[in-house]
Structure 1
Amino acid sequence: MGRMRRIWQPEIFYHVTLRGNNRQNIFLNDSDFALFFRALHYTYSKHSFTMIAYCIMNNHYHLLLRSPEIPLSNIMVLVNKRYSEYFKRKYNYYGQLYEPRYFASMVSDPISLLNVSSYIHQNPINTSSFIADKMENYSFSSYSYYFQQIKSPHPFLDTNFLPSIIKTYPEIKERDYCTYCQNYRMQTEEERSSHCQIVLT
């Protein structure tokens, strides 16, 4: 049986994650992280996309983005191919760098965008081994730009969209987006699935 065709809706944000093959580390040092961002910048120069949260860990990454111009799969092919070629050249690596396919889920409503982005930003403080004591202290996450309220050097990162949701919904008790992130508690898979439509696992 052939692979399921990916669904693309240009107005919808997707939570994309991809791990190293066999859960191996694919970012070994700061220069590797920097090159991944260069791959994102290169792809953005070819096809514009909007990202509202990201977290790059040693053996996987999380992106929350939408691609209004071309299918999301085209964006991810460019990013992953460019980084994979760099990694293989640098480390004389042969074989498959990533798992066979990335995971993507459509995030269908504003509150779910807050929740998924909070989950992404909490990744560095929810690990079995110590990585960071606070979300804002992890260098390879978009959270620090929200926390410090500074402009991102990445043209594809929009740090205004999520805070605007807080202001739009009066029932949200948290005063700002960072407070929402800090107070967020992971939901069960059943609760998450009521808001996120899985495209491919």
Structure 2
Amino acid sequence: MPREARQISKTGVYHVMWRGSAGQDIFHDDVDRIKYLEILLKYKDNTNIEIYGWCLMSNHVHILLREGDETLSATMKRIGISYVAYYNWKYQVRGHLFQDRFKSENVETISYLMTVVRYIHQNPVKAGLIDEVANWKWSSCDEYYGGRVYPRGLLNDDFILKYFSDNQEISRNHFREFNERPNQDACLDEPIYKRRCSDEEARIEIQKILREIPIPQLKTLPRESRNELLREIKQIDGLSLRQAARILGVSASLVSKV
């Protein structure tokens, strides 16, 4: 069955979400996250897209952007190819990293623009990783609050802040109140479920078991060695089978069978 064509946004603004293949992690450390943001900046400059918000989670990324000199699909393909090349080189692995097709939704109104940027910033809070949105280092939130995020020049916060006030200080204060307001937002039909064991906690415990073996390389080990480690990993307190499979980049059925 052919894929349904993406609907073109009349404003050129989209909310994009891209997950790791089979839910696997796409970022394993801060260096990975920095590299992804640097690639995003590179293609912002090369294709004239405008970035209004982002949040990097362990196994997916959210971006709020306006299309530039080429189609959204073309730009996202360039970003994906660049990051996958880096990832495969660093971890000495092959194969798919991202899901074949990123998700996107049109942002046609000011009201929904505000909803999306708040949803993106609150992702780590609703996932139970932090208590306050400003404490997540890997989102655009802190720059909206007047701080500095890396890399400089990636975010265009004026586009959204201008809707709150012409006075920058007042605008940032009003934005902060809105951004932290409790809500039931579920953009892109992606409800967030709080885990018993957070991904960050799970990765730390998994790495203790793997010792010097990088997490992405577990699936390349000989079957007997791999399964022995998987049996140990399954004993981690609060870790679900699906969560383990996603972090390790293997199927949930493999984890459940060992």
Give the shorter-chain TM-score range: 0.7 to 0.9
Q: Does 1:164 align with 2:162?
A: yes
Name the structure, 1 or 2, with higher relative contact order (CA <8 Å, separation 6+): 1
Q: In structure 1, what residue type is equivalent to 2:141?
A: Y
Distance of 1:59 and 1:124 partners within structure 2? 12
Distance of 1:140 and 1:184 partners within structure 2? 21
Shift of 1:154: 3.5
Q: What is the percentage of aligned positions where both structures have the same residue?
A: 27
Shift of 1:149: 4.7
Q: In structure 2, what residue type is equivalent to 1:116?
A: V
Shift of 1:188: 6.2
Deviates further, 178-187 or 150-159:
150-159
Tell me the alpha carbon deviations over residues 51-103 of structure 1, each in whole angstroms, 9 at most, x when there is no partner: 11100101000000011321111110111110011101111122211112100
Unaligned runs of 5+ in 1: 169-173, 192-201
Distance of 1:27 and 1:126 partners within structure 2? 19
Shift of 1:151: 7.7
Tell me the alpha carbon deviations over residues 147-167 of structure 1, each in whole angstroms, 9 at most, x when there is no partner: 235587442411112121223
Distance 1:163 1:45, change over 3 A: closer
Q: Which has the higher strand share?
A: 1
Distance 1:10 1:153, change over 3 A: farther
* Runs of at least 4 residues off by over 6 Å: none
After TM superposition, list the pairs within 5 Å mapping 1:1-201 onto structure 2: 1-9=1-9, 11-127=11-127, 130-150=128-148, 153-167=151-165, 176-187=174-185
Unaligned runs of 5+ in 2: 167-171, 190-258
Question: What's the RMSD between the two structures over aligned residues?
Answer: 2.5
Tell me the alpha carbon deviations over residues 95-138 of structure 1, each in whole angstroms, 9 at most, x when there is no partner: 211112100000110011111110000011111xx422211111
Length-normalised TM-score, structure 1? 0.83
Length-normalised TM-score, structure 2? 0.65
Distance of 1:56 and 1:63 partners within structure 2? 9
Deviates further, 90-99 or 143-152:
143-152
